[in-house]
Each structure stands twice: as C-alpha cells, then as structure tokens.
Amino acid sequence: GKLRILLVFSHKRDPMFPQAPLPKEVGLDISALPIVRGAMAPPKLPFPLAKLWREAFAKAVKEPEFLNWAKRARVEITPMDHEEFLKYTLGVEKEVMKYLSKIEIKK
C-alpha cells in the first residue's frame, strides 16, 4: 500500500518527506519540541579538561560512522558549542513552559 505523511512535527521540512507540511503551514499552533542531548560536567572542572571534552565531542559528531548511524536512525544532529547549547536549551525551556501553562487539569 501507499503511505501518506500528513504532518511533520518539526521546525523545518523533512528532506525524506518534502511534501509533508509543517504544523504552522496548515494553521496549527503546535510547535515541535526537540529532544535535546548534551553533556555536562562539574562546575569547577579545570579548563584543560573542559577543553579536551569539547574538542572530543566536536570531533565525534563529525565522524562518518556516527553520521551514517544518525542518518539511518533519522536523528538530526546539530552540533553546538557550550554557549550555543545554553542559549538553545533556555529557549526550549521557555517554549515548553508556554505549552505547559496551557494544559488544564480537571480534578
């Protein structure tokens, strides 16, 4: 049979399903809430160790084997440095809180 994708919950079109619209394109006020993954370390981690970890992660997300896995698993990879990650996660938190505030719980 045929499968027709009706909607893609994302901020951008999925290249595998370019014909599938985004919620905002069909008049829905539904935002995609991404799955965010990052690594954290203790606050007083010595700078040389923090630098080592940052460089290791930056290298790892460019490895062809990892990128091939991500493509097969349909996992979007968006590498960010620590400042970009902090800014992004704070933005996601605001978006999540906006939607949580709309939830009405009936007792």
The pLDDT of residue 63 is 95
Question: Which residue from 93, 87, 99, 100 is spatially nearest to 23, judged by alpha carbons?
Answer: 99
The pLDDT of residue 23 is 81
Residue 93 is encoded by which pair of tokens? 């938190």
Q: How confident is the model at residue 49 (pLDDT cuts 50, 70, 90)?
A: very high
Interval 60-95: pLDDT, tens: 999 999 999 988 988 888 888 888 988 988 887 887
The pLDDT of residue 107 is 40
39 in the same domain as 28: no
55 in the same domain as 92: yes
Q: Which domain holds residue 97?
A: 35-101
Rounded to two decimals, the pTM is: 0.55
42 in the same domain as 12: no
Question: Which residue from 50, 36, 43 is spatially nearest to 89, judged by alpha carbons?
Answer: 36
What's the total number of domains in the chain?
2
54 in the same domain as 22: no
95 in the same domain as 44: yes
28 in the same domain as 10: yes
3 in the same domain as 49: no
Interval 15-35: pLDDT, tens: 888 898 888 888 777 666 667
Q: Which residues lie below 8 Å from residue 85, measured CB to CB, with a gap of 6+?
A: 38
Could you give the C-alpha distances from 2 to 5, 71, in angstroms and in order? 10, 23
The alpha carbons of the chain give a radius of gyration, in whole angstroms, of: 18
pLDDT at 47 over 80: yes
Assess if residue 96 is contained within a domain. Answer: yes
Q: How confident is the model at residue 105 (pLDDT cuts 50, 70, 90)?
A: very low
Assess if residue 74 is contained within a domain. Answer: yes
43 in the same domain as 83: yes
